Structure 1
Amino acid sequence: MRITTAHGIDESSFVPIGGIDQWVSIRGEDRSNPVILEIHGGPGASNLIHIPRTRAWERHFTIVRWDMRGAGKTFSAHGPSGQGELTLSRLYADALELTDHIRARLGVPKVLLLANSFGTVTGLRLARDHPERYSAYVGTDQNIIAGGRDSSAYDALLTRLRGAGKHKQLSRLTALGPDRTAWSPEEWSRYAKTVVTTDPLTYDTMKTVVIRSLWFSPLHTLRDLRAYLKGMTFSEQLGPQAMSLDEYAEGTAFDLPVFLFQGADDVLTPPAPARRFHDALTAPVKDFALIPDAAHFASFRHPDHFLDLLLTRVRPVVTGSAAKG
Structure 2
Amino acid sequence: MGVLPKKVDFIIPADTGINKIEKLLIGGVEQSILIQGENKNHPVLLFLHGGPSMPLPGLSCRGRDYVLATNTKELVKHFVVVFWDQRGTGKSYHSSIPRETMRLTQFISDAVELVDYLRAGFNTEKLFLAGHSWGSVLGLHLVKDYPEKFFSYVGLSQIVSWVENDRLSLQWVKEEAKRRGNKKAMQELDAVGQPPFLESFEQWGVLRRWQARFNSMFFSDEQTKSPGMGRLAKIMLQSPDYSLKDIYHSLYKGFKLVYHMPFIDDLSNFNFRESGLKLTVPITFIHGRHDVHVVGSQVEDYYNRLEAPYGKQLIWVENSSHAFHPDDASVIEKVLIEEKNRGGACHRPKFVESNNTDIL
TM-score normalised according to structure 1 size: 0.89
SS in 1 for 2:274: helix
Partner of residue 135 from structure 2, selected from 119, 122, 143:
119
Specify the alignment match of 1:33 in structure 2: 42
CA contact (8 A) 2:72 2:333 kept: no
Q: Tell me whether 1:309 sits opposite 2:332 in the alignment.
A: no
* Distance 1:196-1:315 versus aligned 2 partners, 3 A rule: farther
SS in 2 for 1:151: helix
Q: Tell me whether 1:109 sits opposite 2:125 in the alignment.
A: yes
* Distance 1:269-1:50 versus aligned 2 partners, 3 A rule: farther
Distance in structure 2 (CA, Å) of the matches to 1:15 and 1:213: 24
Deviation at 1:14, TM superposition (A): 1.1
Query: Which stretch has the larger CA shift, 219-228 or 80-89?
Result: 80-89
Q: Give CA-to-partner distance per residue, 1:49-108, whole Å, 9 cap, x none.
A: 344123312122211111111111111xx2154566110001111111110000011111
| Paired residues for 1:201-240 under 5 Å | 202=218, 204-229=226-251, 230-237=253-260, 238-240=263-265
Deviation at 1:181, TM superposition (A): 4.2
In structure 2, stretches of 5+ residues that fail to align are 1-7, 220-225, 349-360
Opposite residue 272 of structure 2, the aligned amino acid is: E
Specify the alignment match of 2:18 in structure 1: 9
Specify the alignment match of 2:294 in structure 1: 269
Specify the alignment match of 1:42 in structure 2: 51
> What's the % identity of the aligned pairs?
24
Query: Which stretch has the larger CA shift, 88-97 or 300-309?
Result: 300-309
Distance in structure 2 (CA, Å) of the matches to 1:120 and 1:190: 23
* Distance 1:315-1:44 versus aligned 2 partners, 3 A rule: farther
Distance in structure 2 (CA, Å) of the matches to 1:219 and 1:189: 32
CA contact (8 A) 1:186 1:236 kept: no
Opposite residue 276 of structure 1, the aligned amino acid is: D
| Paired residues for 1:71-82 under 5 Å | 71-75=89-93, 78-79=94-95, 81=97
Partner of residue 181 from structure 2, selected from 146, 165, 183:
165
Backbone CA RMSD of aligned residues: 2.4
Query: Aligned pair count?
Result: 319
Specify the alignment match of 2:212 in structure 1: 196
Partner of residue 151 from structure 2, selected from 113, 118, 135:
135
Opposite residue 300 of structure 2, the aligned amino acid is: R
Opposite residue 142 of structure 1, the aligned amino acid is: Q
CA contact (8 A) 2:286 2:316 kept: yes
Q: Give CA-to-partner distance per residue, 1:206-238, whole Å, 9 cap, x none.
A: 324322323322321112211222212322234
Opposite residue 121 of structure 1, the aligned amino acid is: V
Q: Tell me whether 1:66 sits opposite 2:87 in the alignment.
A: no
SS in 2 for 1:27: strand
* Distance 1:206-1:82 versus aligned 2 partners, 3 A rule: farther
Q: Tell me whether 1:252 sits opposite 2:277 in the alignment.
A: yes
Q: Tell me whether 1:295 sits opposite 2:313 in the alignment.
A: no
Distance in structure 1 (CA, Å) of the matches to 2:29 and 2:336: 32
* Distance 1:191-1:50 versus aligned 2 partners, 3 A rule: farther
SS in 2 for 1:202: coil
Deviation at 1:273, TM superposition (A): 0.9
Deviation at 1:150, TM superposition (A): 7.4
SS in 2 for 1:180: coil
Opposite residue 310 of structure 1, the aligned amino acid is: L
SS in 2 for 1:55: coil
CA contact (8 A) 2:163 2:196 kept: no
Opposite residue 256 of structure 1, the aligned amino acid is: V
Distance in structure 2 (CA, Å) of the matches to 1:282 and 1:225: 40
TM-score normalised according to structure 2 size: 0.81
* Distance 1:209-1:139 versus aligned 2 partners, 3 A rule: farther
Opposite residue 96 of structure 1, the aligned amino acid is: V
Specify the alignment match of 1:155 in structure 2: 171
Distance in structure 2 (CA, Å) of the matches to 1:33 and 1:173: 49
Q: Give CA-to-partner distance per residue, 1:248-283, whole Å, 9 cap, x none.
A: 111210111111001110111121111111111111
Specify the alignment match of 1:21 in structure 2: 30
Distance in structure 2 (CA, Å) of the matches to 1:308 and 1:212: 24
